[in-house]
A and B are shown apart, each in its own frame.
Chain A
Amino acid sequence: MSEKLQTLIIEDEELARNLLRSYLKDQPDIEIIGECENGFDGVKAINDLKPDMVFLDIQMPKITGFEMLELIDHKPHIIFTTAYDQFALKAFELNAVDYLLKPFSKDRMLAAIEKVKHHIQNHETNDEKLEELTNLRPGEGFIDRVVVKDRHKIHIITVDKIRYIESLDDYVMIYTTDGRHMKQKTMKYFETNLDPKNFIRIHRSYIVQVDNIAEIQQYEKEAYIVILKDSAKTKLKISKSGYKNIKEVLHF
């Protein structure tokens, strides 16, 4: 390889960054093009700098390494680093992505870099693996929040702010108390990862937050709609199986 490997470090702890830097210092074919202290900066840096390789910490303030994966347009080769996270490890093993367990040795890190170089030489990408990884999360219970990116701004939506979700082919539109956000995820993902006590799949195209339902109206024989609690009184169709789901959650 003639060119140096453009490397980005995303790690919230200074000491951990120092260690990585000192390990990489004497590697002639590696160039550190940036360091980020949190996930927000990390997403921006990956999209702007388009690194070849990223050392990515999982547990970080604001947004986690996993959530970052959902927001990046450019998919570099990623070496995950984590101290202790059973769910992350399970996800890594299922997807055979490389990861470093802190504290790790220099040799272990170099072995991981060798693998990345090998992938690059063979023009292998790990886009699919990363995609699967984001769908595997959260592992532990239901999700608390959803991260979305509109143009250049990242929003963190805590699930209590979600009013309803509408399916748009490969995307979903998430309607929140302050607006709406598009995200590349499936309805299936939200159906399985949002707490079913609070979110009901009422239709192939809709998932509704229970507290946001104002009333359920019958407009034809065996055809119902929900009316939401907003000023526009949004009306959403209910399918047959959706009606069953609503009945189950609301006990009527």
Chain B
Amino acid sequence: MKHPLTNNYRLLGYYALFWFVIGVINIVLQVIWYNVPLIYSLLDTGTNYVLYPLLGSSIWYSIRYNSLEEVTIGRLIIFHFIAASILCGIWVSISYAIFQPFITKEKHFLKDGLPPKILGGYVMYAIYLVFFYAVNYYESLKEKIKKEGEYKSLIREAELQALKSQINPHFLFNSLNSISSLTVSNPEKAQEMVINLSTFMRYSLMHNEKEMVSFSRELENIKLYLSIEKVRFGKKLNAEFEIDSHCLEAEIPNMILQPLFENAIKYGVYETTEQVTIKSTCECDGNVLKITIVNDYDASTIKRRGEGIGLRNIRKRMEIIYNQPDLMKITDHKTSFEVQLIIPQKQALS
């Protein structure tokens, strides 16, 4: 850490101002109240309130390399006593040298003034010590807080990264298998599916860089995802959307919907032999966008375990992004499963 006075010019300014004011008060008092000749007063003030502050600023280095936590008290006291003695010695010597030419007659004044001056030097040293320790403490605290903030944002970033959904390998390999089949029976459709799959993958990779997207963009991606799954599941998968057009401008975390649909397919479509409808509705009022996704499921074959890892990750991601809990609501209607996302908006949607 640098010297606080040279590192922070504002602090240096206050320091100079402080001693200047003390000095002026000293001169005024001495000259007017005690009738001290101006020249003596100036000498006294100069050595006490200019020279000492200059020398004293070096005390910083003595505390810098003697951290309170690392050094034993005994060593600390000895160290500072020696340092104080050296400083006082230098200070008194220089003061003497300055006084010498001006005081010709009453030399005993100098001698008489010596003990209180030395004592004052030690007291000042002690005050400086406290001051610098306080500054040091404050500076390290500030640094710690800053670092902590940095760590927190790093952790937040890492958490968000971890919570973002990855493309499910099961989905990928099944899609590739569908494509493999289509290359034999329907090459054009196979090509279309390769393109759809690529577009979807590109979007999902992009979300590593961008946190928020427009709802319309996210919706487009979901429709792409569903179109790929529809090739696999055929008429078993039926997706319906009821979207208010003025909600499309809303901002929404990237790839937050895909895991919900993946879930609906996994538990709804995949587990039955009948057609399953995944119905998505959305409404926006004021500063929130509400998206509701409902899918039927066959309660006789599966026991829903409430929140799986996919849903839990979304809940956490929402919590981190918006810093408020309960933005995802899950309702199990026994034959259908409902997930609602509440997405706060910075700007009101018109």
Question: Which residues of A come within 8 Å of B, CB atoms?
Answer: 13-16, 18-19, 22, 37-38, 59, 61-63, 83-85, 101-103, 144-145, 156, 158-160
Q: Is the CB of A62 within 8 A of B272?
A: yes
Q: How far is the CA of A102 from the CA of B181 in the complex (A)?
A: 10
In whole Å, how far is B211's beta carbon from the nearest beta carbon of chain A?
Answer: 29
Which residue, of A59, A159, A160, has the highest number of chain B Cβ atoms within 10 A? A59
Given contacts A59-B270, A61-B270, A84-B172, 12 further A-B contacts (CB under 8 A): A15-B177, A16-B178, A19-B180, A22-B184, A59-B170, A61-B273, A61-B301, A62-B271, A84-B173, A85-B170, A102-B176, A102-B177
Q: Is the CB of A159 within 8 A of B303?
A: yes
Q: Is the CB of A16 within 8 A of B302?
A: no
| B288 touches A (CB below 8 Å) | no
What total of chain B residues lie within 8 Å of the partner, measured CB to CB? 27
| B174 touches A (CB below 8 Å) | yes
| B232 touches A (CB below 8 Å) | yes
Q: If A61-B272, A83-B174 touch, does A145 touch B303 (CB 8 Å cutoff)?
A: yes
Nearest chain-B residue to A144 (Cβ)? B303
In whole Å, how far is A153's beta carbon from the nearest beta carbon of chain B?
Answer: 13
Contacts of B271 in A (CB 8 A): 61-62
Contacts of B173 in A (CB 8 A): 83-84, 101-103
Q: Is the CB of A160 within 8 A of B177?
A: no
Q: How far is the CA of A62 from the CA of B300 in the complex (A)?
A: 9
Contacts of A61 in B (CB 8 A): 270-273, 301
Q: Is the CB of A13 within 8 A of B178?
A: yes
In whole Å, how far is B177's beta carbon from the nearest beta carbon of chain A?
Answer: 4
Nearest chain-B residue to A40 (Cβ)? B273
Name the contact of A102 in the complex, choosing from B174, B272, B273, B300 (C-beta under 8 A): B174
Name the contact of A158 in the complex, choosing from B181, B270, B302 (C-beta under 8 A): B302
Contacts of B176 in A (CB 8 A): 102-103
Contacts of B232 in A (CB 8 A): 13, 15
Q: Is the CB of B273 within 8 A of A62?
A: yes
Contacts of A160 in B (CB 8 A): 303
Q: Is the CB of A15 within 8 A of B270?
A: no
Q: Is the CB of A19 within 8 A of B270?
A: no
Contacts of A37 in B (CB 8 A): 273
Residues from 4 to 54 in B contacting A, C-beta threshold 8 Å: none
In whole Å, how far is A129's beta carbon from the nearest beta carbon of chain B?
Answer: 25
Q: Is the CB of B181 within 8 A of A16?
A: yes
Q: How far is the CA of A59 from the CA of B300 in the complex (A)?
A: 17
Q: Is the CB of A15 within 8 A of B302?
A: no
Q: Is the CB of B185 within 8 A of A18?
A: yes
Q: How far is the CA of A101 from the CA of B170 in the complex (A)?
A: 11
Q: How far is the CA of A19 from the CA of B190 in the complex (A)?
A: 13
| B286 touches A (CB below 8 Å) | no
| B231 touches A (CB below 8 Å) | yes
Q: Is the CB of B184 within 8 A of A19?
A: yes
Residues from 138 to 174 in B contacting A, C-beta threshold 8 Å: 169-170, 172-174
In whole Å, how far is A108's beta carbon from the nearest beta carbon of chain B?
Answer: 12
Q: Is the CB of B302 within 8 A of A144?
A: yes
Contacts of B197 in A (CB 8 A): none
| B233 touches A (CB below 8 Å) | yes
Q: Is the CB of A103 within 8 A of B301?
A: no
Contacts of B273 in A (CB 8 A): 37-38, 61-62
Q: Is the CB of A103 within 8 A of B270?
A: no
| B182 touches A (CB below 8 Å) | yes
Nearest chain-A residue to B170 (Cβ)? A84
Residues from 184 to 233 in B contacting A, C-beta threshold 8 Å: 184-185, 231-233
In whole Å, how far is B90's beta carbon from the nearest beta carbon of chain A?
Answer: 75
Contacts of A62 in B (CB 8 A): 271-273, 301
Q: How far is the CA of A19 from the CA of B184 in the complex (A)?
A: 8
Name the contact of A156 in the complex, choosing from B178, B300, B305 (C-beta under 8 A): B300
Q: How far is the CA of A19 from the CA of B176 in the complex (A)?
A: 12
In whole Å, how far is B20's beta carbon from the nearest beta carbon of chain A?
Answer: 74
Contacts of A63 in B (CB 8 A): 301
Q: Is the CB of B182 within 8 A of A15?
A: yes
Contacts of B234 in A (CB 8 A): 14
Q: How far is the CA of A110 from the CA of B179 in the complex (A)?
A: 20
Name the contact of A103 in the complex, choosing from B179, B272, B303 (C-beta under 8 A): B179
Q: Is the CB of A19 within 8 A of B303?
A: no
Q: How far is the CA of A19 from the CA of B272 in the complex (A)?
A: 22
Q: How far is the CA of A61 from the CA of B233 in the complex (A)?
A: 11
In whole Å, how far is A10's beta carbon from the nearest beta carbon of chain B?
Answer: 13
In whole Å, how far is B261's beta carbon from the nearest beta carbon of chain A?
Answer: 18
Q: How far is the CA of A223 from the CA of B303 in the complex (A)?
A: 36
Residues from 229 to 275 in B contacting A, C-beta threshold 8 Å: 231-234, 270-273
Residues from 270 to 286 in B contacting A, C-beta threshold 8 Å: 270-273
In whole Å, how far is A141's beta carbon from the nearest beta carbon of chain B?
Answer: 9
Q: If A61-B271, A84-B173 touch, does A13 touch B185 (CB 8 Å cutoff)?
A: no
The 4 closest A-B pairs by CB, nearest first: A19-B181, A103-B180, A83-B173, A102-B177
